[in-house]
Amino acid sequence: MPKWNARKWDTADIPDQSGRTALVTGANSGLGLRTAEVLADKGAHVLLACRSPERGQRALERVLATGGKAELVPLDLADLSSVRAAAAHVRERTGDALDVLVNNAGVMAVPLGRTADGFERQFGTNHLGHAALTWLLMPALRTRPGARVVTVSSLAHAAGRLDLADPNYEVRRYTSWGAYGQSKLANLLFAKELDRRTRAAGLDVTSVAAHPGITATELSANMARARRNPLLGFGTRISDFFSQSVEVGALPQLYAATSPDVEPGGYYGPDGFRETRGHPARAGSTTAARDELAASRLWDLTAKLTGVAPDPS
C-alpha cells in the first residue's frame, strides 16, 4: 500500500466480516480491545482471549453492548497449559473454523521474571505463547479460505538481538528493554517464517505482521506498576501526551487482518514520521528481522522449548 496515497485507509474501508470468526489475544484493553470492537462492529464473531477474567468480562460486555457478537476465552500466554486449553476450547467452539488470529497481547520492559514454564517472561509471553497458540490453532485456520494470522511486533524490534543459545537470559545480563526488543524481533521472524512455510505447504493461510507505532496503551502504565517506580509513571504520562490514540494505533493490525491488498509475509505500520504515528502503510524492518536462517532456527527452537509440534512442519 503506497505511503503517498491521498486517501488514507481507515475502518470505513474494512470489508464486511459477517460469517467470519476472529480470535484476538489481549482483548481486554488497548489495541486488542479496539481490534475486537471494530471486527465485531463489521460483523465478525470475535473471541476475546484474556488472562484476567474480570477485565475480560468487562471488555466482553463493552463489545456486546454495541450489538457485536463476541465471547470470552480464558488465556494466559505465560502458561503453556493455559495456551493448550484455550486452543482446544476455540477449536471445539468454532468447529475447527477460525478465519483470523490476531496475536496482539504482550508485556513490555518488565523486570526479570519467569513464566509458569520457566521461560524469560517477555520472550515466553510475547513469542513462545503466541507461537504455540498459532500452531495449535492451525487445524482451525486451515479449513477457512483466506485465513489470516496477524502477529503484532514493535518499533523496538530494531533494538533487539536474538540469542538462540540463551533466549531466556539464563547466562547473559538481563535488561528489560533488551529482552523486549528480542521478543518483538522474534515476533517478526516467526511471522515471516510462518508465511514461508504456509506457502510452501500450499495452505490458504496468510501470515502478516503489524506494529502500532507509538500509541497510548496500558503497556507503559503496566510497565511502571511492575517496576514500582513513580518516576516511570510520570514518564509514561509525558510519553502518552506525544502518542497517538488507540483508535489510530490499531489501524495497522486491522488493515493486516482484513484488507484484500495485504501481501503474504508483509509488515505494516503507521505512515507518519519514522513510523511513529499515522495510517497503515508498508513498514520497514531490520536486516536481523529478515534473516531467514535465524527464523528457521528460531522455529525449531520454539518447537523444542514449547513441546508443540509446528504446523506446518
Catalytic residue list: 180
* φ, ψ for residue 83, nearest 5 deg: -65, -45
Tell me which residue of 261, 267, 264, 265 sits closest to 285, measured CA to CA.
267
Q: Name the CA dihedral angle for 165, 169, 170, 175, rounded to a multiple of 10 degrees.
A: 140
Assigned C-alpha cell, 64: 456486546
Assigned C-alpha cell, 309: 509440534
* φ, ψ for residue 76, nearest 5 deg: -115, 105
